[in-house]
Copies of this chain bind each other. A is one copy, B any other.
Amino acid sequence: MSARRSSRRSRVGAPCSWRREAGLAAIRDAGLEPYDIDGLVTYTVDENDELTLVRALGIPEVHYWARSPGSGYGACATVQLAAGAITSGAADAVLIYRAFNERSGRRFGQPFGTRSGRAPLDFHFTYGIDTPAKMYALWFRRYMHEYGISNEDFGRYVVAARRYAATNPNAWFYQRPITIADHQASRWIVEPVLRLLDCCQESDGGVALVVTSAERVTDTPSPVAVAGAVDAHVQGTSIMHNYYLPDLAGFPDAERCAARLWQQTGLTADEIDVAEIYENFSPLALLVLEAFGFCGRGEAASYIATGAIDIDGELPVNTHGGLLGEAYIHGMNTLLEGVRQVRGTATNQVAGVEHALVSSLSSAVILARP
């Protein structure tokens, strides 16, 4: 797998140009040409038409295309799809992409309106739970209650993420670190759960990656192996939140991802050198750390407080600054940072990375040296 993000800063532009720019960069980065690509994968929410992309990139023919149902929680699921296409012989080289104008176009953080067109969301809209922040906060609130977690605890994760972003020239918040006091001074979005600085950005941009077979990467300057890729959706969970299960303070989908990844790869949490975690809201970093067993249930706040997720810590987390600090390219940039860490080319490079975990809520991958 190899990968490239299209541009470093948010700007107004058609998704069409992002996806083409990112797509071409990823293909070239993989040592391939557009005519080598015969598979396409993205999310169902992506608004770029496959056939238009095929023309824009000069891909002669596609033999596999698929979309992961939904949005950013499928970032790692796209790798599962692409890897499955390769393994089953449906395609030789799959381009994964996600491009959108989320700041200059439709802003995800704004109220969705009275109807989303999606049944389970509409049930909540009726009660005014009409933004991602509100939807997630209801779930996070239970987590706070159960384990005595405060918003300041979330803030300590944000300070760590912004520290990484501050040294990442690709990050929106480059050279703009924050203190816990800055975090606590930011306005409430959903009191007493989420402040402004707990919420990810709304960004314009595109990211693309290429997945191909081990046999094909001979031309790839710096390939990264997909050691494992999983997707997990437990009945009763909703991707956006956990409202209905007996254990409201946990994250069952992520727990199942962890269990399946350990099973698939034979690895354990101890063998993960760096973790890149999709966090459209800061508490998700804590919930995912617990779900993967990097610390016990309810212990992520103190784990973070000890400096465990910092660059010299036990498990550096979101070394690009996360979705909060770098940009919100729907988790695809989270995946990209995992690729960079294994390659050894990250701005905030962790020494000797053998295995990088990338988690995007209900899907996850482990990237490894080939």
Give A residues with C-beta under 8 Å from B. 16, 40, 44, 47, 49-52, 54-55, 58-69, 77, 80-81, 83-85, 87-90, 117-120, 230-239, 256, 260
Distance, CA A47 to CA B122, complexed state (A): 13
Q: Are A69 and B66 in contact (CB under 8 A)?
A: yes
Q: 3 nearest interchain CB pairs?
A: A84-B88, A87-B88, A62-B233
Distance, CA A256 to CA B64, complexed state (A): 13
Q: Are A61 and B235 in contact (CB under 8 A)?
A: yes
Q: Are A51 and B120 in contact (CB under 8 A)?
A: yes
Contacts of A62 in B (CB 8 A): 231-233
Does more than half of chain A's interface fall in helix, strand or loop, or is it mixed? Answer: mixed
Distance, CA A44 to CA B45, complexed state (A): 9
What are 17 A-to-B residue pairs whose CB atoms are below 8 Å?
A16-B119, A49-B118, A51-B233, A52-B120, A54-B233, A63-B233, A64-B231, A65-B68, A65-B69, A65-B233, A66-B68, A67-B67, A84-B85, A87-B87, A87-B88, A87-B89, A88-B88
Query: Taking the nearest CB of chain B, how far is it from the CB of A240, in angstroms?
Result: 10
Known contacts: A51-B239, A67-B69, A119-B49. The answer to whether A233 contacts B61 by CB under 8 A is yes
Q: Are A63 and B235 in contact (CB under 8 A)?
A: no
Identify 15 new A-B residue pairs, CB closer than 8 A, beyond the known A55-B235, A55-B236, A63-B260: A44-B44, A49-B120, A50-B233, A51-B237, A51-B238, A61-B232, A62-B233, A63-B231, A63-B232, A64-B80, A65-B68, A66-B67, A84-B85, A87-B87, A90-B231
Query: Taking the nearest CB of chain B, how far is it from the CB of A318, in angstroms?
Result: 26
Task: For A84, give its contact among B87, B233, B256 (CB under 8 Å).
Answer: B87
Q: Are B44 and A235 in contact (CB under 8 A)?
A: no
Contacts of A84 in B (CB 8 A): 64, 84-85, 87-88, 90
Known contacts: A49-B120, A66-B66, A119-B52. The answer to whether A234 contacts B88 by CB under 8 A is no
Q: Are B67 and A44 in contact (CB under 8 A)?
A: yes
Q: Are B65 and A235 in contact (CB under 8 A)?
A: no
